[in-house]
Amino acid sequence: MIYEIVKNINALQQLKDNDIHKKYIEYIRYPFFRNLAPDSKITFDFPITFLVGKNGGGKSSTLQSLYGCPKGYSLGDYWFTTELDPIKEFDKNRNCFIYGYKDNGSINEVIKQRIYRDNDPDYWETAKPIKRYGMLNSQRFSPIEKDVVYLDFRTELSAFDKFFHFLKFRSNTHKTKQDFLRFYSNKLKEAFDTNKIISYYSPNRNKPKVVLTKIETKIVSEILRKEFETIEIIEHNLFKDWGTSIRLKQKNINYSEAFAGSGETAIVILVHKIFNAEKESLILLDEPETSLHSGAQKRLMSFLIEQCIKKKHQVVISTHSPFLIENMPNDSIKVFSTLSSSGKFVIDNDRNYKEAFHELEIENTNKKNILVEDKIAQIVIDKTLEKLGKATQDIFETKYLSGGADDINQRLTTIMEFTDDTYVVFDGDQKKLQMPIDLNSIPLNQQDTSIKLKALIKSQTGCDVKFYLNGGNQSKELKEKETHSLAKKYLEFYNRNVFYLPLSIPEDIIWDEVFAKKLLKLIQPEKDISAITNISTNSKELLFNFCRECYGENTQYESTILQFVANWINKEDSSYTYIKDLINQLKN
């Protein structure tokens, strides 16, 4: 199953890379929108996108904004002002979102902005391009034309569950809810059996019955691992409010949603709606894993991928499930986290699934995290931890972050907001200063503005770091004060939590020419080490060329690295002592 999913993921990536989709939202950005940090942006690098983060982190409101992107759809259907929860607007900075889609090879940007009207206080309209938001075009483009399927699985209740668990019961003719359901279930059975429109006390109590096709029924059966012969759906208001009822038929048993699990009802509705969606639809799913066990979640993901390949859908999923995003490309995972300084939500556009679920505290949050920029650095630190013993090893978790040092330096603006037990160990060549900047040793007149502090940060990191500020119509003085505070916090965090490997790159640490000669003699006795050293300019090339000379290919590169690391660990040289002492420092 995993092999098939990975193969289909690769096929889906090729469709995106080859620009097969004709109606595709490339990105959405938020100059000012609800509780997102100003100028937040999501890039849709893969046809299926996952929004991951804690509850109340802005994922659902982001899905709703996507619902409002295509022509004929409005965010006002889901987000509207009330006396209790009024939506506040600023004169210049109104709630809005901007998205881009391709048209004949170029990007059309569309801005949708909330405009108050007396007869419609929740009206969203396509506005003229706004220069201060950096819009690409000068002309107003029409919204993308795309069908939308939006399913919120926390509220996708069956008609039975909605009535029995949530509606207040009042009846002059029935003593209990059970009596009421027994009576009106007869009417519902009549609608299922005859496909009639019931008109009991009022006309049109139901819509025509829908019978799932054999293919749809097979898909539901595969996801739920049950053998269904027929599946029927009816929308009705026989249980006081409009809702959906299903009837499932197996070989020896028939039952409705009253006896089905809520997961079964949700899957029937999802499969039917997605299977019958128009080509290149925008599919928005809010927590589809609700009431599904892990195996069903994985099979659901397989179905979604197949439908995306066949119909070129664009899918965005809000989820708390590691089973849905496992094996997915890093750039398909968007992590929502909260800035403690402002309460605003920020979005990281490229995280692997293990990193993403650190945000949800699914992993052991008692562990200290060590972030590195290189896979070999991760192996070096992990092997050192292993040698130091299980007690020390259990304290730490080493994580390799793709994207390089500059990307990690930027991520620290978020990391510093919610943890002090995360450390960074950069390669030695990232060390720009002999000693980290300690603000206590710098005169106040050299750190009294954000510009001066940013210059210090650049001297430390080698890059320009962007800080996320509070929204609203802030004065320049307030923005300067907030930026200054965040920059100061960044430098203090850097001083406490950022360290470096003893040599320029981790390959320098593990390369050992004496060991290489011995290993080469064992594997390729006719070859000489000079054949490797003469064509290599650094330790990275030495290890790469050594692997190729020994094995004739590079598939054994990781095992070669592990051999050199084991040799290095056994030597316990000065680099090992340096890293061991660093780990003991972090431990305490």
Cβ atoms 466, 392 nearer than 8 A: no
Strands 210-211 and 148-152: unpaired
- Per-residue pLDDT for 472 more than 70? no
Question: Comparing 243 with 356, which gets the higher pLDDT?
Answer: 243
Q: Sorting pLDDT into bands at 50, 70 and 90, what band is 47? A: very high
Report the alpha-carbon distance of residue 345 to residue 470 in Å, rounded. 10
Could you give the percent of the chain with pLDDT greater than 70?
A: 92
User: Which residue has better confidence, 514 or 170?
Assistant: 514
- DSSP code of residue 65: H
pLDDT at 254 over 50: yes
Confidence at residue 258, expressed as pLDDT on a 0 to 100 scale: 67
What separation in angstroms does the CA of 236 have from each of 189, 274, 518?
Answer: 12, 21, 79
The pLDDT of residue 353 is above 80: no
Span 251-273, average pLDDT: 82
pTM: 0.66
561 CB-near residues (< 8 Å, 6+ apart): 376, 379, 510, 543
All domains of the chain in start order, with CATH: 2-154+280-286+305-334 (3.40.50), 159-259 (no CATH), 361-500 (no CATH), 506-587 (no CATH)
477-504: pLDDT as tens digits? 888 998 999 999 999 999 999 999 999 9
Dmax (CA) for the chain in angstroms is 98
pLDDT > 90? residue 114: no
Q: Which of 264-273, 353-362, 535-544 has the lowest mean pLDDT?
A: 353-362
249-263, 272-286, 515-529: least confident range: 249-263
Task: State residue 439's pLDDT score.
Answer: 94
**Position 82: which residue type?**
T
Which one-letter amino acid corresponds to residue 483? T
Provide, rounded to the nearest whole percent, the portion of the chain with pLDDT above 90. Answer: 53
Residue 384: phi, psi to the nearest 5? -65, -45
Please determine, for residue 510, whether its predicted confidence score (pLDDT) is greater than 90. yes
The 10s digit of each residue's pLDDT in 269-328 is: 999 999 999 999 999 999 998 778 778 889 999 999 999 999 999 999 999 888 888 889
Which pLDDT tens digit goes with each residue over 220-253?
Answer: 999 998 899 999 999 999 888 888 899 999 988 8
pLDDT of residue 2 exceeding 70, the answer is no
- The pLDDT of residue 364 is 45
pLDDT tens digits for range 11-24: 998 988 888 888 99
Nearest-angstrom CA–CA distance, 110 and 65: 13
561: pLDDT strictly greater than 90: yes
Quick one: pLDDT at residue 362?
53
Does residue 92 carry a pLDDT above 70? no
Contact by Cβ (8 Å): 208, 195: yes
The answer, yes or no, to whether residue 384 has pLDDT greater than 90, is yes
Query: Which pLDDT band holds residue 337 (cuts at 50, 70, 90)?
Result: confident
Higher per-residue confidence, 85 vs 565: 565
- 377-401 burial, b if ≥16 CB within 10 A, otherwise e? bbbbbbbbbeebeeebeebbbbbbb
Average pLDDT across the chain, whole number:
88
- What is the secondary structure of 139-179 as a DSSP string? SPPPPP---EEEEETTT--BHHHIIIIISPP--SS-SSHHH
Measured at the alpha carbon of residue 111, what is the angle toward residues 38 and 54, in degrees to the nearest 5? 40
